[in-house]
Structure 1
Amino acid sequence: MTPLQNLALAAAALGAGAMNAMAGGGTILTFPTLVFLGMPAIMANATSTVALLPAAVTSMFGYRREVSTHRKWLKTLFLPSLIGGITGSILLLRTPEKVFAGLAPVLVLFATVLFMVRGALARRFLPTSGDAPPQPGQLSSGHWALAWGLQLGVAIYGGYFGAGIGILMLALLGFLGLTDIHAMNGLKNFFNLCINVVAAGYFVMQGAVSWPEALVLAAGAALGGYAGARFSKRIGQDKARRAVIVIGLLVTAILAWQQLAK
């Protein structure tokens, strides 16, 4: 790679790491950058997943305190995250990516709107006692199964393509009644890490990763992920929520433009 190409990859990685820490959508920066530099689309997708793994770790570290207060949710949605991640990665290498990528703008837009109205939905469908956020044990069996199934679907999408997965998980957590945006971001980062670990492992075993580009992206994304986590907590919950919505709409627009440009 030329110095200019390395610079472009590093810039995309920094932005992707920060976006993933706050709301997701980092793939929107790394995937098209790799394709623009001449990499085949499926390899670009797999390389992007592997490269963003360090960012998932560092952003998770940035939210470690918030996550520690929601251990029951970690245990509840851990397994569907793993199963979905490996399922999606297998589908990616066996089916044309454009079939699923074509649905991405609709999925992300729906998730963003759902995130915007998540408070009203949670009060309507998941009443809780007092102001405390609900725990998995407070959910009915139907709601628990729905949460498990929705996270499985999100994880499959994450293992397959992943753009906007953070928005989808934040919307799901909001629907389940969680209200602390920072705790939600921490949980989202943990589940994103679970999904990416199994997906990246499969891509590596299948030889679908271009390592020179992956290493450049990984270094920039790790720094961006930690910085994004710290920045999100400093700007306050209201501003962080607005940032999530703006990023969601931006991701939707970019995905739609990519599909129309094909």
Structure 2
Amino acid sequence: MSEFLPVLLAGVAAGALNAIGGGGTFVALPALVAFGLPPVAANTVSRVALAPGALVSAWVYRRDLTPVGPVSVRALTTAGVIGGGVGAGLLLALPAASFDIAAPWLLAFATLVLAFGRHLSKALTGALGRPVGMSARAVLTGQFLLAVYGGYFGGAVGILMLALWSIGLGLDAAAGNPMRIAQLAAVHLSATALFLLASNALSAPLLLTALLIGALAGGFAGAHLARRLPARLLRGVLLATAVITTVLYFLRG
């Protein structure tokens, strides 16, 4: 029982971070590993535990969801659910080493795009004489691939989503945050279903319960806080989270 409170607090922090800007994995995974879970088991346990928190955050944002460019909420969510399930299947079947190597560089790219994507999109619009915009097929393909990454590894996939929407559609990070949270929930949901059926995610029930309860509370509170932040401040939080997450990934590697 001495493990319950620290992991509960880690769940609160992870759920709140995911709701506000992302990066909750960096709290949840180390907490589980610190109490003796192997990395792969910690990955599946954290994903299962964080899924309800993501769903609660998405519910808080349910009235703020809008289409991403030419793609409807339903279509984007469908791509996220399918991709998350495919990625989870890959995690159970393949080693994670290749994603571990690529993740810091993906995040560094995503951070740069978050910082300068809107400016680049405006510059391209001026140079081309027309708005920059990905086609619906391109958006769905990109979303599916990111969802596969999210189901397989999951680290900061929301940051990568915002980066894609920013450079491809000129979407403001603050405006895209509700959809980021909803898509995280979609990816977590399908990955969790597979992990519960085919992995050892239930091998540490006490740690799973503590993290899950904490993530529910943190996800609910964090989403309400994020909705009240001014757009400029929320953009700053998202960018700061992306920078910190990227640095931590490089240090971790």
TM (norm. structure 1) is 0.86
Runs of 4+ aligned structure 1 residues displaced above 4 Å come to 124-127
1:36-75 equivalences under 5 Å are: 36-67=34-65, 69-70=66-67, 73-75=72-74
Question: Which of 2, 7, 10 does residue 8 from structure 2 map onto?
Answer: 10
Counterpart in the other structure of 1:95: 94
Question: Aligned-pair distance for 1:152?
Answer: 1.3
Question: Which of 120, 128, 140 does residue 148 from structure 1 map onto?
Answer: 140
**Residues 74-126 of structure 1: CA deviation (Å, up to 9, x unaligned):** 12312321221011101111111232122211111211111111212333456
Which SS does the other structure have where 1:102 is aligned?
helix
Question: Which of 170, 178, 188 does residue 177 from structure 1 map onto?
Answer: 170
Contact 1:50 1:209 in 2 (8 A): yes
**Residues 115-164 of structure 1: CA deviation (Å, up to 9, x unaligned):** 1112123334569xxxxxx9xxx956xx3222122111210110011111
Which SS does the other structure have where 1:246 is aligned?
helix
1:241-260 equivalences under 5 Å are: 241-259=235-253
> 2-side partners of 1:18 and 1:233: how far apart?
12
Aligned residues: 244
> 2-side partners of 1:232 and 1:79: how far apart?
25
TM (norm. structure 2) is 0.89
- Give yes or no for the alignment of 1:83 onto 2:75: no
1:109-148 equivalences under 5 Å are: 109-125=108-124, 143-148=135-140
**Residues 192-237 of structure 1: CA deviation (Å, up to 9, x unaligned):** 1111111000000013203321111111011111111121222211
Paired AA for residue 203 in structure 1: F
Which SS does the other structure have where 1:70 is aligned?
coil
Which SS does the other structure have where 1:209 is aligned?
coil
Which SS does the other structure have where 2:227 is aligned?
helix
Paired AA for residue 162 in structure 1: G
Question: Which of 207, 231, 246 does residue 213 from structure 1 map onto?
Answer: 207
1:165-204 equivalences under 5 Å are: 165-175=157-167, 176-179=169-172, 181=174, 183-204=175-196
> 1-side partners of 2:165 and 2:5: how far apart?
36
> 1-side partners of 2:192 and 2:243: how far apart?
27
Question: Aligned-pair distance for 1:167?
Answer: 0.6
CA RMSD of aligned residues (A): 2.0
Paired AA for residue 216 in structure 1: A
> 1-side partners of 2:155 and 2:142: how far apart?
17
